[in-house]
Structure 1
């Protein structure tokens, strides 16, 4: 296989190799079943690092243009020819534009939380489903649908949740929302009024606090430790209407609430009449075993369960859901209908088929391995640069962890981080919140090095 690359242009080698192979596959020049050269052979042929070829092949696999056969090699996938495809010539940026982009964007390494590895989302399989749904869906699917969500998605979701998270729910108890944030906004409007009390974990997501406070309710803090909410400190003489919790992966500290505290929460809710709002935002990615069962599985009539596909698949897919007690379903659907009538129907149908064909299960299984490796790179990098000077919270699940350092931070730390072109959110005390799911391994290593430089300035 002959490829042409140019080391004198500003387009990165990885992008050139990937684009060249991609173009030839789409144009039909490399037919289905064609065996691509080994990464070692192609690296020698092009005189580039083998890592460049490995990453280019990973991108082809992720897009569905190629398939890997264990012990055999990498082959062009079936159905990857686009008739009439013409590749666009690469656009060369001017030197000044490249320099500006590098200083303003390309070189910034952000340990932002909540972002999955978007480059590894299997676009081709999703696109194939979307295309078939657009062709085959009845005309009614293009009109106004059920505000509660497409029935086939709710059926698939009910089955998925009981098997993966132990959630007890029939499809009639599930309402599809435009992201998890909408689910939380609507349920807090449903349950809280001015003068009510609501409990929130401390620390927690500040945007979440704003959502609850917008109802006029008074917010009271529930302190957390490395295991989640400290149930011994729950206010015994008060009667809150709602408690917001992240028991399967506390945000931001990362604790997984043990069963003893879960039972105490259920008992507290029964005693005080408080409903529990469980936000299960990323617990599919647990690295020390299977995800723990939901809090909702202990008492479906007192726990409202919220989930999202933003972390599992991609944030632009604005599909979340809430599992409600039977007594709250009708009122919630009415609020959903008033908010935006329905969540996009075609995307719901695509997602339901994605689940039914076990593509979601396959993707989660694959990404757990990717994120576990990236997490280990982050842990190794912290150990390399801060041996004996830190401890880690929340390492067993999710797409972020917290590094707590044993020395005081300087007051101008955000400025120092900015000067090193790196971002990590600072929590109270000497702690940094570090999301890693969206960062490649070399970015994680370089990002930690920059944090070390910022902390030592």
Structure 2
């Protein structure tokens, strides 16, 4: 092992001085906790060679510290730091500990991480690594590996109706990274305003604001986001979740889908389509991507964060041809953000059919949970109605007027991590506030789901 020590700190440069300096340095490293109890130290020969001193000097220092009780030495196991209490270094008073994590996590936006297909992913990784060309380990194309872009082009065309050419696909480190790149492109073009939906994620609005763009919310009603005001607002772009509005859960009405595309064609604006959970639908036919209506005016954003896991940090943009060069320039001259091996593994995962099998399996799992949620509400909280449940991994539970805050507090008391709908409402939204909880039924692992559902029902009015 490598060990950073300065044996000359208190020594004189002579043999005895180096011995004392090394002994003091080792003692200090153990006392302060830099060398943890049980840590195996280098052999005297190895450490002497590293420090450029005599082996006997190291052996004598070790012997002194064994005698003092700082180290232990046993035949066959080498020299180790002794198991003993290590005092905490003095310093500023520690901060108050943050509140503990909830017993059950029902926050939306995360899949069941315990269901990540480890075995199949590992098989795909091995195959991808064995077949990887040498240039895969160098600095890559800013758009990402061509193997993944090709696999995505085929999958998105087949499963989501996206017009995708590998040359127009850019791999990014998740949706947020893709949105940052698009924000930079829009600002360089001189854009100042981006229209957004009345309900969504504040982190996305913040990313656009940090790019120097003002976000203006569009009205929302039972038909989804109202796209008619786009004509009057004249933004440079609009960020939407047309297939399954987040978090309200309704698809954008066909007339409004067409109106949004017509606006983009007339004005030269862009539609930024967030297709965050398009694979998961239950009671209706899949709604194709809006990008299929006009690939030159719609930027399609997808991610593996919901279908697989957010820890992979893999997302993709399907760009209009006219935007590719600008997006590449915004990303930089080398693909520093996305690991090559993960890209190759995902490509193999898709091409082998493992991705489709996993999505089908998770679709069944989430549908069962959704059905159990609806049944439990009907039995134990009949005044609460679940909406937006034809697709996705979350539901909106509509509450009696004026009760959202009290129900959220009750949920926290029962150990639930869950958010009220008000958390997702844009501060400038004109729509009347509604009382509801947004429940991510896809988040808990299977073993915790029944407990989470019981705690939720006890918290509801």
2:270, 2:299 within 8 Å by CA — same for their partners in 1?
yes
1:8-407 equivalent positions in 2, closer than 5 A: 104-105=100-101, 108-192=103-187, 196-232=192-228, 234-337=229-332, 341-387=336-382, 389-407=383-401
Secondary structure at the counterpart of residue 148 of structure 2: helix
CA deviation map 1:220-258 (0-9, x unaligned): 1112234321234x2433321010000011011011113
Secondary structure at the counterpart of residue 237 of structure 1: helix
Secondary structure at the counterpart of residue 198 of structure 1: strand
Return 259-268 or 320-329, whichever deviates more: 259-268
1:179, 1:308 within 8 Å by CA — same for their partners in 2?
yes
Distance between the aligned counterparts of 2:164 and 2:191, measured in 1?
32
Q: TM-score, normalised by structure 2?
A: 0.72
Residue 441 of structure 1: CA displacement? 5.8
Aligned to 1:89: none
Segments of 4+ moved more than 6 angstroms = none
Residue 205 of structure 1: CA displacement? 0.9
CA deviation map 1:258-306 (0-9, x unaligned): 3221101111222332210000001100112442111000011110000
CA deviation map 1:6-57 (0-9, x unaligned): xxxxxxxxxxxxxxxxxxxxxxxxxxxxxxxxxxxxxxxxxxxxxxxxxxxx
Q: CA RMSD in A?
A: 2.1
Residue 164 of structure 1: CA displacement? 0.6
CA deviation map 1:371-412 (0-9, x unaligned): 11011111112222211x122221011111111112431645
Aligned to 1:32: none
CA gap of 1:289–1:430, structure 2 versus 1, over 3 A, is: closer
Residue 310 of structure 1: CA displacement? 1.0
Distance between the aligned counterparts of 2:200 and 2:354, measured in 1?
32
Distance between the aligned counterparts of 1:218 and 1:339, measured in 2?
30
CA gap of 1:242–1:363, structure 2 versus 1, over 3 A, is: same
Distance between the aligned counterparts of 1:238 and 1:115, measured in 2?
33
Q: TM-score, normalised by structure 1?
A: 0.72
Unaligned runs of 5+ in 2: 1-98, 423-433
Distance between the aligned counterparts of 2:333 and 2:378, measured in 1?
51
Which structure has more relative contact order (CA 8 Å, sep 6+)? It is: 2
CA gap of 1:258–1:125, structure 2 versus 1, over 3 A, is: same
1:226, 1:253 within 8 Å by CA — same for their partners in 2?
no
- Number of corresponding residues: 351
CA deviation map 1:188-245 (0-9, x unaligned): 110136771110000111111101111222221112234321234x243332101000
Aligned to 1:434: 439
